[in-house]
A and B are shown apart, each in its own frame.
Chain A
């Protein structure tokens, strides 16, 4: 039974579902972050307060962290197995024509996860009282962070890598779930491209605006 539960396809199925769930969270986060562009701190702080206190959202927060943990741990588990499956590599490299970003999923994923840890230190741990700061004024915390050039460099790099990760992940998840269709798969690939550009571009727009134009 354990062979079935932890078969390569089952693990990938879990990865794909977790990934698709995470895809739904990003637009919500982006919409809230767009309120940072307002000169008035209240709308963003109210939204942040609502996200921190509304019972259903609090349940979703636990689910979200659980899904992140599952996605990351299954990703590492699968990757270790992949490395073990080819103990000796090729001297002449691998020149096969492949989806470019698919080659670096573990590395783009690792960078995004590292950013997530930084993000938790800046915001989530403040909310939990683990790090000093005013949890009722995330607007000021965010604005202060976006004034630091190094933070913006890290932020923009990570969101560019997030775009690369999302571009392959989006369509790959459907393939893993067995949803490959002559007509729909090309549409999914276009949606993946649009999603992978719009979401990181939205976050990057906020970063650049607050950094250079405020």
Chain B
């Protein structure tokens, strides 16, 4: 495949940044998107140029590192996958592909396609945990949990915190992320003890770090690689009201 890449290049957080155009020949449709970027970087290094900086780690769709905005979609135009799972066969011969970093005030660009997502960590640190004494694992059947609730909690807990919800939202809102982190505890008895403090602290921190407001457009749900549902946001709202 022959492709034209328009990639956002930015030296550091303070630099201005611009799109650079790269022509790619011999891209295999079997390549993953990140492998295609690896091939580009190899070429750039051989030409003694600065390679494109992008986040990646597991390349198995579970770490949430590889967030980038491709042709108007977080993680590219295919639903329910991360960028590392995006195959080049989804692009057409001769296509121009625009690659941008996540755009949100709380996610400042560090370099090229890498953004600082510590805003999510700050929200988690504010209350996204349960306080338990460490020690031997408790007997699994000592607290019985309804299967449906357990499944729903798991469906929320699979959020990988990649930030695609923020990137997709026209308001750069983090409500889907926060709601998943609230739901994974709100649905289980272990989470009830600190429920009020948790939701207050996480919502206040979410506002403090500068995310926008949810306007229920549903872009977050449509683009989430782990298919976290909007019902989590309604649950977050309920938990918040119950906390006062």
Contact = CB atoms under 8 A, between A and B. Distances in A.
B213 interface: yes
Contacts of A97: 218-219, 222
B72 A86 contact: no
Nearest to B175: A8
A95 interface: yes
A71 interface: no
A63 B104 CA distance: 38
Interface string A80-109: 011011111111111111110011010000
Nearest to B237: A178
B173 interface: yes
B129 to A, nearest CB: 21
B175 to A, nearest CB: 8
A90 B237 contact: no
B234 A178 contact: yes
B33 interface: no
Interface residues of A, number: 39
A175 interface: yes
Name which of B106, B200, B213 has the most chain A CB atoms within 10 A of its CB: B213
Interface in B198-236: 200, 203-204, 206-208, 210-219, 222-223, 230-231, 233-236
Interface stretch (A9-17, A25-33, A111-119, A136-144): A9-17
Interface in A50-101: 78, 81-82, 84-99
Interface stretch (B46-54, B80-88, B135-143, B164-172): B164-172
A102 B233 CA distance: 16
Interface string A185-205: 000000000000000000000
Contact of A8 (B71, B103, B213, B235): B213
B24 to A, nearest CB: 17
A90 B100 contact: yes
Nearest to A3: B204
Nearest to B98: A92
Contacts of A96: 72-74, 168, 219, 222-223
Name which of A12, A94, A97, A168 has the most chain B CB atoms within 10 A of its CB: A94
Interface in A171-189: 171-172, 175-180
A9 B236 CA distance: 9
A95 B217 contact: no
A48 to B, nearest CB: 36
B244 A4 contact: yes
Contacts of B73: 95-96
B177 interface: no
A82 B237 contact: no
Nearest to B220: A96
Contacts of B90: none
A134 interface: no
B237 A102 contact: no
A91 B170 contact: no
A81 B233 contact: no
B240 interface: yes
B103 A88 contact: yes
B100 A85 contact: no
A7 interface: yes
B105 A84 contact: yes
B238 interface: yes
B212 A3 contact: no
B22 interface: no
B185 interface: no
Given A92-B71, A92-B98, A178-B237, A86 B217 contact: no
13 contacts: A7-B204, A8-B207, A8-B211, A12-B237, A13-B237, A82-B213, A92-B69, A92-B70, A94-B168, A95-B73, A102-B216, A172-B216, A178-B241
Given A12-B214, A175-B230, 12 more contacts: A4-B244, A78-B213, A86-B212, A87-B105, A89-B103, A90-B69, A91-B6, A93-B72, A96-B222, A178-B235, A179-B234, A180-B233
